[in-house]
Structure 1
Amino acid sequence: TLATNCQVFFCDPHSPWQRGSNENTNGLLRQYFPRSSTDFRSYTQSVLDAVARELNGRPRETLNWKNPAQKLNELLVATAA
């Protein structure tokens, strides 16, 4: 938090309404990996990496329509200057 000037928040246990982005991401992941039938041992690392790249490449309204990788880069560049 100090190095990036990015606020960090901790949610109360058993309070999903406090974790909107997390719950949204879980929903996106369930599109690729259904809860009832997913055995992660059957997926290769390259498949998991491809899903991560696709999700990290999606623009997010909460990031002013930047994708997570762009926002992270923006924060890292700002701290290096």
Structure 2
Amino acid sequence: MDTKITLSFDQNVIEKAKDFAASQGISLSRLTEFLYEKITSAPKAYASLEDIPISDFVRMVAEEEVTYKTMAKSSKSMKKEYYESLK
């Protein structure tokens, strides 16, 4: 069963990821699902985010140096941040 989610990414990253997905004959949704499956299939196999094999892919599609944000946020603050980003 598919479940919809909403994610926000830099537009340039999305464009490059769409191109990559198309070159692989899959949708961006399926590419994202594949990447999530890859990192969750062996959760104890990675000591840090840099150990995850997809980090090379992220570096390929990112325009700037990759930085990982791991701050815990409440759903209320995330919702507020999301709506402010739409302005």
Per the normalisation by structure 2, the TM-score is: 0.28
Say which one has the larger Rg: 1
